[in-house]
């Protein structure tokens, strides 16, 4: 570079640095709070960025589930996950958001179709500068809020996918997800975040331990009961037949992606980024989220040996998810050691829940019910310890949401079973859904290893 130009660039940089220091150090206009319009921009940007991070959790669920199943079913898992995300977006646009947030009467919102920008926003886009004040007074863009809420719906739907992997019919699953995201979840949301009867009682659930995760867990539990266990998952003598993951590194990657996405899940639920208070609160939320997940991992690993008789990687991975789920109801606490305690208990109850599911012969491929339902219930009740929640109200919320979601889901699964069927036939289950339903294998160059139990039976005969 020319020496003269180099000197000019250096002096310009020094001048900019000095100006920045003066802006920070000198009181007055520069140090004043940001304008309402700036707050509007920050809040809207926060919704969109955090929402995009939560959307990335769908990739985490895809990796977690596709690595947990046998290779012959991995492609169908990928299709199910991109399909459920698409269904969630469409269903929430057509009717779900209105049921959840628009003119909630106490039990349900407005039964109207479609959702879009406000009249003031449309006027502003058409060049009416006079509408800017009304737009800014809302605090954030209307559709940024819709987007942030929509990705939460997709998260609830993803929980069901992993639990029923390897035997549920694709279109039956899609039909259930449509009702879950269009009606069941929005009704629960209207009771709580929409300002309905549970909100009026004082029910607390900051980012959805119960509203999102237990809802998905109850729906998954109903599905495991109706669809049933995978073929030969439980032997005649009652013992559990091991079905090891096909790709442990991919499962682990999926959990790390979920962990990352959870920062958007909980951090974005501050629902504002317009000042110092929001920035500090959001920082606390992210730290508590991370601490709870870490504690969940270590607690689950520590309890795996006495429960399963071995160190268990999958228990540790589910412990991370359980810790994240547990802290989600109250991540805004300021005494961070409580996040460690809540996350650790979440990891323990998840590990115990995994063992109970086996004893009850309920086949949950990824441990979704213990990680999301059981840990979600614990986290919702833990709000009473850390954030001033009323135990009676929290318990009523847990029971009411559980009864509604489980009851409606069970009925819906039964209806699907009696009409179009919910389970693939034995031949499809044997050769895998990838080849039978899609005609494509996830790992076509891999050699399929024979099942250990089948080999043993062949030797005996």
pLDDT tens, residue by residue, 78-124: 999 999 999 999 999 999 999 999 999 989 998 899 999 999 999 99
Helix or strand or coil: residue 26? coil
Residue linked to tokens 């707050």: 39
Largest CA distance in the chain: 90
As a three-state string, the secondary structure of 172-226 is: HHHHHHHHHHHHHHHHHHHHCCCCCHHHHHCCCCCCCHHHHHHHHHHHHHHHHHH
End-to-end CA distance of the chain: 83
Beta bridge partners of 234: 240
Look at residue 197 and tell me whether its pLDDT is greater than 90: yes
Phi, psi of 201 (to 5 degrees): -75, -20
CA 79 to chain centre: 18
Q: Coil, strand or helix: which one is 168?
A: strand
CA 333, CA 388: separation in Å to the nearest integer?
10
pLDDT for 33 equals 63
d(CA 63, CA 305): 26
pLDDT higher than threshold 50 for residue 19? no
Asked if residue 14 has pLDDT above 70, the reply is no
Where is pLDDT greater, at 63 or 245?
63
Digit-coded pLDDT (tens) for 388-406: 899 999 999 999 999 999 9
CA–CA distance, 340 with 344 (Å, rounded to integer): 6
Spatial neighbors of 423 by CB under 8 A, at least 6 apart, are: 167, 168, 169, 227, 228, 417
**Are 270 and 282 in contact, with CB atoms under 8 Å apart?**
yes
Higher pLDDT, 20 or 166: 166
Write down the pLDDT at residue 18.
38
In this prediction, residue 224 has a pLDDT band, given cuts at 50, 70 and 90, of: very high
Return all residues near 170 (Cβ < 8 A) that are at least 6 apart. 76, 79, 80, 83, 433, 437
Q: Band the pLDDT of 274: cuts 50, 70, 90.
A: confident
**DSSP β-bridge partners for residue 423:** 168
| Whether the predicted pLDDT of 8 surpasses 60 | no
> CA-CA distance, 81 to 62, in Å (whole number)?
6
Question: What contacts 346, CB < 8 A, 6 or more positions away?
Answer: 292, 296, 299, 319, 322, 323, 324, 325, 326, 327, 375, 378, 379
Is the pLDDT score of 20 beyond 60?
no
Q: What is the rounded CA–CA span in Å between residue 255 and residue 322?
A: 11
User: Which pLDDT score is estimated for 209?
Assistant: 97
- pLDDT of amino acid 421: 96
Could you give the domains of the chain? 61-110+146-454 (1.10.3430.10)
138 membership: H or E segment, kind and range: none
Phi/psi of residue 297, each to 5°?
-60, -50
pLDDT at position 441 is 84
Tokens of 33: 């709070």
For residue 157, CA distances in Å to 5, 102, 180, 212, 433 come to 58, 22, 7, 9, 20
Whole-number pLDDT of residue 451: 63
How much is the mean pLDDT over the chain?
A: 90
Q: At what angle do helices 142-163 and 170-179 cross, to 10 degrees?
A: 140
3-state secondary structure of 234: strand
Q: Is it the case that residue 151 has pLDDT exceeding 90?
A: yes
Give the chain's radius of gyration (CA, Å): 25
Over the stretch 399-455, which tens digit does the pLDDT of each residue have?
A: 999 999 999 999 999 999 999 999 999 989 988 999 888 888 888 877 565 666 666
In degrees rounded to 5, what are phi and psi of residue 420? -100, -5
Average pLDDT on 381-389 reads 92
């Amino acid at each position: 570079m020319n020496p003269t130009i180099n000197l000019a660039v250096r002096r310009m940089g020094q001048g900019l640095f000095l100006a920045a220091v003066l802006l920070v150090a000198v009181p007055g206009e520069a140090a004043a709070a940001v304008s309402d319009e700036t707050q509007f921009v920050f809040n809207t940007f926060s919704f969109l960025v955090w929402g995009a991070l939560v959307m990335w959790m769908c990739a985490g669920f895809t990796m977690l589930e596709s690595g947990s199943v046998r290779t012959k079913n991995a492609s169908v898992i990928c299709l199910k996950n991109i399909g459920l995300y698409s269904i969630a977006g469409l269903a929430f646009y057509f009717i779900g958001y209105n049921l959840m947030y628009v003119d909630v009467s106490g039990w349900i919102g407005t039964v109207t179709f479609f959702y879009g920008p406000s009249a003031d926003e449309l006027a502003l886009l058409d060049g009416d500068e006079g509408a800017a004040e009304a737009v800014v007074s809302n605090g954030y863009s209307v559709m940024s809020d819709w987007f942030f809420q929509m990705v939460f719906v997709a998260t609830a739907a993803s929980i069901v996918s992993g639990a029923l992997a390897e035997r549920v019919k694709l279109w039956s699953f899609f039909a259930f997800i449509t009702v879950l995201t269009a009606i069941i979840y929005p009704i629960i949301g209207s009771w709580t975040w929409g300002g309905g009867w549970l909100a009026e009682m004082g029910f607390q659930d900051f980012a959805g331990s119960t509203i999102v995760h237990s809802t998905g867990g109850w729906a998954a539990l109903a599905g495991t009961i109706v669809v049933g266990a995978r073929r030969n998952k439980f032997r005649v003598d009652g013992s559990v037949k091991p079905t090891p993951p096909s790709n442990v590194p991919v499962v682990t990657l999926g959990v790390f992606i979920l962990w990352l996405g959870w920062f958007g899940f909980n951090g974005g639920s501050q629902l504002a980024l317009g000042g110092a208070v929001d920035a500090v609160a959001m920082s606390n939320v992210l730290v508590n989220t991370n601490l709870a997940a870490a504690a969940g991992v270590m607690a689950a690993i520590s309890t795996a040996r006495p429960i399963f008789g071995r160190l268990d990687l999958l228990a540790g991975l589910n412990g991370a998810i359980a810790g994240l789920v547990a802290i989600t109801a109250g991540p805004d606490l300021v005494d961070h050691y409580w996040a460690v305690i809540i996350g650790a208990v979440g990891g323990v109850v998840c590990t115990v829940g995994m063992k109970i599911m086996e004893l009850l012969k309920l086949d949950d491929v990824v441990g979704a019910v213990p990680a999301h339902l059981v840990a979600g219930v614990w986290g919702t009740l833990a709000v009473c310890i850390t954030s001033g929640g009323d135990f009676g109200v929290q318990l009523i919320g847990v029971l009411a949401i559980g009864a509604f979601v489980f009851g409606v889901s069970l009925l819906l699964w039964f209806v699907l079973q009696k009409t179009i069927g919910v389970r693939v036939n034995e031949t499809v289950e044997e050769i895998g859904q990838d080849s039978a339903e899609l005609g494509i294998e996830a790992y076509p160059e891999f050699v399929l290893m024979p099942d250990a139990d089948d080999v043993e039976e062949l030797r005996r005969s």
